[in-house]
Amino acid sequence: MRVSRMSAPLGAYVDGVELQSVSHAEVEALKALFLDHHVLVFRGQSLTPEDQMAFAEHWGQLMPFPYGALPNYPNIVPLKNRGKAKDVNQHWHSDMTYSPTPPKLTMLYALEAPELGGETAFANQILAYEALSPGMQALAGRLVARHSAKDLARLYGQNPDEASEALHPVVRTHEESGSKALYVCAAFTRNFVDWHRNDSKALLDFLFEHSVRPEFQARHRWQAGDLVMWDNRCLLHYAVHDHGDDPRLLHRLQVEGVVPQ
């Protein structure tokens, strides 16, 4: 196993591992690397949906997605290039924060990748929290925010009144590392508990902008055969749609998490 860093804020490339036949010792080493780097990239893999699911299950129970899963594979969602106007992931977010138990990690496997563009950007929310002033850390640490899937449900033609909503702390403590991370995102965070939306807006807008400062970020440029996994408990991510109509097909799955604390 050979490990090289992606960037200073986050991420690592892992070479010399065949994910369809990964050993117990390799899995334990990868779990430690995952906590340290938050994003792991494995290049040159050749995986079936069953292979991808089997590898992900080393991290926990797989999590079905309510919209657009593959036939016969309710845990895998195909992410295709349907054009920029129809791309619903062009925003900074952590996956499914509107769930009471959001996924602990997301894993994407690339079947097709554009020659240029189509990168995924990540932002380290542990660094974002640590960069806040002590006073702002104290204030954010006392707040709870409402996260909602109503807008997402409308995009998929679902009834927004039946969409999931959840309340989560604005500062989340990672249950494995103990690190504190900012836990808000413009895609799903609506307001603070006991605050009106208008009252919440100014502080939320500041936190949204602060959370994705360039010095917290890294990007991954996709190649076919890449498997990328990241920690939703302490990262935001953004699908950059700058590849026009070039094909891009990724298989996404997620591993169940716990109630954020």
- Mind telling me the catalytic residues? 93, 95, 237, 252
Return d(Cα 254, Cα 232) in angstroms, integer.
10
Return d(Cα 41, Cα 217) in angstroms, integer.
16
